[in-house]
């Protein structure tokens, strides 16, 4: 299992949605600073798209807001190390059909066909209007785990985030720092005997249920992709569902989520406490963005 795998999993458990198993930043910093739910963040994202649409219209371009992604599709794109929802797995497997449907819809995104229809000069102006030109300053954040992440800081995208969050640059920095914290402590999680013991138990359960020798859920997913290649869609989905249901069943039988969450609190809480101000500020800006989002009208 790679460090990146566990980082993704811990991000889901602790960084993307509200997690009642650990204190939020409001426990250590004054003022409301709870995390947004996935549905609330979706409202903010849609509002950002509407603001971009209006800004692009002012610059002489069309821009279409992509339909809001439903909860199941969001879940299909959210990597979960601990997948213990047997019912969801029985219906969706690992979510491959949902992901494929999303990508098919993306191919029909009117923004793509619109850009393709522009002349090279118009396309360059479109890109500049959307995210800034070649001389646009970059937003930058130094990550706690090391290194720096950058993003364009101009155009309608930047102005929309400024309007929503109040300060797009400050939000970028705090949000990137908060999302990077798992990389600081996850190597300790991976070395902990409780973690390695839980994974051995999960592997044994999977061997009993499927006959497969899987070190982790990533290996099970890779096997699904290999076995599903070259067979019909219905058969591929059946293979995926069988393995995913076993994965979720074994996660439940071995109490993998509880072990994983306890280790996250043990190793992660001290790290989050060191960055409590950044976490709290980012969450407060998201809450402010949510209030502004609800005042923004429907797409034009």
Tokens of 141: 């954040």
Question: Quick check: 250 and 209 in contact, CB under 8 A?
Answer: yes
In a domain, 201, yes or no: yes
In a domain, 292, yes or no: yes
Q: Which domain holds residue 121?
A: 36-79+101-181+277-300
In a domain, 135, yes or no: yes
Question: Is 254 in the same domain as 205?
Answer: yes
In a domain, 90, yes or no: no
In this prediction the pTM is 0.81
In a domain, 150, yes or no: yes
Question: Is 3 in the same domain as 110?
Answer: no
Question: Quick check: 247 and 203 in contact, CB under 8 A?
Answer: no
Question: Is 253 in the same domain as 177?
Answer: no
Question: Is 263 in the same domain as 121?
Answer: no
E-state strands within the chain = 138-142, 148-152
Question: Is 296 in the same domain as 163?
Answer: yes
Question: Is 155 in the same domain as 285?
Answer: yes
- Tell me the three state secondary structure of residue 130: helix
The whole-angstrom separation of Cα 84 and Cα 89 is 8
pLDDT at position 31 is: 53
In a domain, 86, yes or no: no
Into how many domains does the chain fold?
Answer: 2
pLDDT at position 242 is: 97
pLDDT at position 294 is: 87
pLDDT at position 1 is: 53
Question: Is 140 in the same domain as 19?
Answer: no
In a domain, 123, yes or no: yes
Question: Is 59 in the same domain as 149?
Answer: yes
Tokens of 118: 């522009």
Bridge partners, 149 (sequence order): 141
Question: Is 176 in the same domain as 56?
Answer: yes
Q: Where would I find the H helices in the chain?
A: 3-14, 38-58, 71-77, 86-92, 96-107, 110-116, 120-131, 155-165, 168-180, 182-191, 193-210, 217-228, 233-253, 256-274, 276-293
Question: Is 164 in the same domain as 252?
Answer: no
In a domain, 207, yes or no: yes
One digit per residue, the tens of pLDDT, for the chain of length 300 reads 554 455 444 444 433 333 333 333 333 334 557 899 988 999 999 999 999 999 999 999 999 999 889 999 999 998 777 889 999 999 999 999 999 999 999 999 999 999 999 999 999 999 999 999 989 999 999 999 999 999 999 999 999 999 999 999 999 999 999 999 999 998 899 899 999 999 999 999 999 999 999 999 999 999 999 999 989 999 999 999 999 999 999 999 999 999 999 999 999 999 999 999 999 999 999 999 999 998 886 655
The whole-angstrom separation of Cα 206 and Cα 158 is 47
Question: Is 72 in the same domain as 151?
Answer: yes
Question: Is 250 in the same domain as 137?
Answer: no
Question: Quick check: 75 and 93 in contact, CB under 8 A?
Answer: no
Tokens of 86: 């047997």
């Amino acid at each position: 299992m790679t460090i990146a795998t566990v980082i993704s999993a811990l991000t889901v458990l602790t960084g993307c949605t509200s997690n009642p198993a650990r204190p939020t930043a409001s426990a250590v910093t004054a003022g409301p600073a709870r995390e947004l739910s996935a549905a609330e963040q979706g409202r903010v994202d849609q509002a950002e798209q509407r603001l971009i649409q209006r800004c692009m219209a002012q610059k002489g371009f069309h821009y279409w807001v992509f339909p809001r992604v439903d909860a199941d599709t969001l879940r299909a794109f959210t990597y979960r190390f601990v997948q213990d929802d047997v019912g969801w797995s029985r219906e969706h497997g690992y979510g491959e059909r949902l992901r494929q449907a999303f990508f098919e819809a993306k191919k029909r995104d009117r923004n793509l066909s619109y850009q393709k229809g522009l002349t090279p000069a118009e396309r360059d102006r479109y890109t500049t209007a959307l995210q800034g030109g070649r001389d646009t300053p970059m937003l930058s954040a130094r990550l706690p785990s090391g290194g720096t992440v950058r993003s364009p800081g101009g155009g309608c995208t930047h102005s929309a985030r400024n309007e929503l969050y109040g300060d797009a640059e400050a939000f970028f920095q705090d949000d990137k720092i908060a999302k990077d914290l798992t990389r600081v402590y996850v190597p300790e999680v991976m070395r902990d005997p409780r973690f390695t013991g839980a994974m051995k138990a999960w592997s044994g359960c999977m061997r009993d249920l499927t006959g497969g020798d899987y070190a982790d859920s990533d290996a099970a997913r890779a096997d699904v992709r290999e076995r599903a290649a070259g067979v019909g869609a219905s058969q591929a989905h059946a293979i995926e569902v069988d393995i995913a249901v076993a994965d979720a069943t074994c996660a439940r039988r071995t109490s993998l989520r509880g072990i994983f969450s306890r280790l996250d609190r043990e190793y992660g809480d001290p790290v989050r406490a060191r960055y409590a101000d950044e976490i709290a500020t980012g969450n407060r800006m998201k809450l402010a963005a949510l209030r502004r989002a609800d005042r923004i009208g429907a797409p034009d």
